[in-house]
Amino acid sequence: MTIWFATGNTHKKAELAAILRDHEIRIPADAGIDFDPEETGGTFLENALIKARALYRLALETGRGGKGKPDPVIADDSGLCVDALGGRPGIYSARYGSEGCKKLDAAERNALLLDELGDNPNRKARFVCAMVLLFSEDRFFIVQETLEGEIISRAEGKRGSGGFGYDPILWLPELGRTVAELSEEEKNRISHRGKAGRRIAGILMPAPL
């Protein structure tokens, strides 16, 4: 089955494709579709549904993404929630610290978060992923999963070259490694997106009538 993933992030596409191995995962850019919906929701769940519906409507309007009825759409919204920062950056994780047209890169966002957290002894944090599998405007499934960990104590503690985003600064005590130090297989097994993706895979097999 062809499934459209409502994202422009090729890292996310690769992660989901590794989980949903029995399906062809395509993103809007694969079909030359310009896709950048405004995420106006107040939660991960709301933003995931906004993106899923936006891509479904776009597929209907353009006649792409399936013959007649559009192929199923998956969308996710994810981010890092830090307890000591009141859950921030949360849904604004990708835009954390950005002002106007100036957008910080991943390393700058990591540095900003560590600076804001400072010496606070409460380092508890988690990655959250809300994922939507949408078959039509009003027929969809939603799952939400987390990956629990702790923010490293200082910038010098950043470790690992894998993953992306905040992966180098989220420490997993039970493994003694950061998320960025995990292999692709390990990350897909325990990550917030990996766990959500497997639940979605369970919904897809057998395919709903």
Q: Can 77 be counted among the known catalytic residues? A: yes
Identify the pLDDT of residue 65. 53
Considering only residues 80 and 68, tell me which one the structure prediction assigns the higher pLDDT: 80
Read off the pLDDT of residues 82-93 as tens digits, 9 standing for 90 and up.
999 999 999 999
Answer for the pair 87, 146: CB distance below 8 angstroms, yes or no: no
Identify the pLDDT of residue 60. 84
Identify the pLDDT of residue 209. 44
Q: For residue 208, name the pLDDT band (cuts at 50, 70, 90).
A: very low
* Radius of gyration for the alpha carbons in the chain, expressed in angstroms and rounded: 17
Q: In this structure, what token pair is assigned to residue 94?
A: 């990708």
Q: In this structure, what token pair is assigned to residue 45?
A: 């769940």
Identify the pLDDT of residue 102. 77
Q: What is the distance between the alpha carbons of residues 104 and 35, in angstroms, rounded to a whole number? A: 21
Of the candidates 77, 83, 105, 167, the residue annotated as catalytic is 77
Task: Give the CA distances from residue 45 to residues 52, 102, 107, 145, 152, in Å, rounded to whole numbers and listed in that order.
Answer: 11, 27, 26, 11, 27
